[in-house]
Structure 1
Amino acid sequence: MADATLPAPPTVGIKIPEGRSWIALEIGRMREAARSRAAARKRATSRKKPIGLLHVDDAQFQKAALIVAVSAPQQFGRLDEIILRGRFVLRGEDVATLDELVHEAVRIAAIGLDGPGPHTSELTALNGRIIYAADFLQRREGEIARRRYARGLLGGVTMTFFLLLLIGAGGVAVITLWRHGPMPADQSEALRDVLVAVGAGAAGACVSVMLRMHRMHNLTIESAARGAAIYRIFLGWFFAAAVVFFLKSGLLAGIFTVPDDHIASWFFWGAVGFLAGFNERWATNLISRGPGSTAEGAHGHSAQDAPDAAKPPTA
């Protein structure tokens, strides 16, 4: 019987791509994983629609809230405002703590207000609980805003140093190509002085703002946006550059003496830029300024400085 030549069986398995195909496949997998993580974070951080005190899924609490809303409408409105603001600003255990403070105030007030007669003592106790809940919200919001502002400042300083490196390298390359030769020593020193002063000005602005935030008691989450922190770093740039221009032009030659030594000059311009970054006296309300801020209310006064604003309304 003649031997028949049988075809080789097909290989079972996955063909591993090589070269550019393998790299493209890995990049696609990384992108897909990044999109999956972003979608998971979005689902985890998605905010629910704010719910007022009269819309809580608890019949017993709704009854108590209705009693307080009818007997003390202004105090109830303040409690509703506090809890809605807290759910917008706070996260995690802070939300649960504020909810418990407000709900406890409503339950206790409902027991005292559910009856005839003047409720002077009950309203006084309710006002005290409102102040306590508002103080907790303001304190935690200020701490969150400070952390957010500090992250923005540090991000602005980091961005500053990267930009200065790029500007310095680009400036040297452009001048070298334009002159068809090496950059003169005086021009390289002038460029170095400006870059050192601007970088130190960004650091000075960061320290200036962090010291100011330590003295503030009513910082809101809206005023601590990342962009506001970066604007403050930009101010440090401009103030430092302005001081360098004044000194280099000779307008302040009789006040400051620029050292001739190469190393001492580097430290001098760094110190000048850092001090120029402390621009609190010229832009004091950039942090705390809100939509309704005035000149008097933009200097970080505590709530005790405005007792009328701190008192809750009475029925």
Structure 2
Amino acid sequence: MNLTQFPRRNYVQDPTPIEAVPTFSKALGGKINLFIKRDDLLPGCAGGNKTRKLDYCIADALEKGADTIITCGAVQSNHCRLTLAWAVKEGMDCHLVLEERVPGSYKENGSGNHFLFQLMGVKSITVVPGGSDMLGEMEQVSEKVKSTGKKPYIIPGGASNAIGATGYAACALEIQHQLFSQNLSIDHLVVPSGSAGTHAGMVVGMYGSNANIPIAGINVSRKKQVQEEIVHNLAVETAKRLGVREKIPADQITCFDNYVGAGYSLPTDSMIEAVKLLARTESILLDPVYSGKAMAGMIDLVRNDYFSPGTNVMFLHTGGSPALYAYLDTFR
């Protein structure tokens, strides 16, 4: 894979750390050795995984002459926060379409990421009901923006298209270089699986370079079969873009849907436990929607001996801790 052929903005200049978390591993019974890939420390307002995707998406927007970015997400979307952040850095306007997936969850004066939307000067926020046609809603905003003489560019939710997923194919190569440099062997990788770009990109990067590191995705919203199909389709599309000669086999995609709970963004007891346990053993903050539920899934897999004793497991921390401040009542 020659990733230098694709335009990017160089938002990611240095590898994020791979951090051993022995106290946390011990708290899980000492069965495995856990390492965390700290993509919560990526650049951008409060960090997070979307910076890797936006590195490529915003480069594509600028190459096409855009001066305005339109994107979408849930009411506490980390993707929307980071898209807005990088648009601000680039001197571009940014308009957000927020999907109220849980009725009543949008708060005009809300905390967490919503507060940061206002602080960074979002140009407009359009709130739509859960289940809306988000592309159609963004296209309506785009037409309004065009009528003012601006040149908009639509980035899909999570920046999860083949352009954005390229960022996580690059991350897979980054991880392999770090493992070689640190003389560290990883037996399994666990990632949050939501809009699919992170999961799909990581699969493409690992498979396309013959790394042979199995990847488990922990779903944050959809059922297993649905999510695996979405991830696989995006992985195939991304692999084609990157020139991977072999088609990604469907068996490279593994998802677990046992940890979603009542629905997307709705707290679960296991998520609360995971967030508190990592904070109190390693001083690392998870978020309540993605990394918190993904870590809850990984904890359960450890406790149920999914991983062989002594296995080295890496958890991809996708960031999102600003959302914690919209969930104060959940943790107090």
The structure with the greater share of residues assigned to strand is 2
- Which structure would you say has the larger Rg? 1
The structure with the greater share of residues assigned to helix is 1
> Bigger relative contact order, structure 1 or 2, given CA contacts below 8 A and separation 6+?
2
TM-score range, shorter chain: under 0.3
TM-score where L is the length of structure 2? 0.22
TM-score where L is the length of structure 1? 0.23
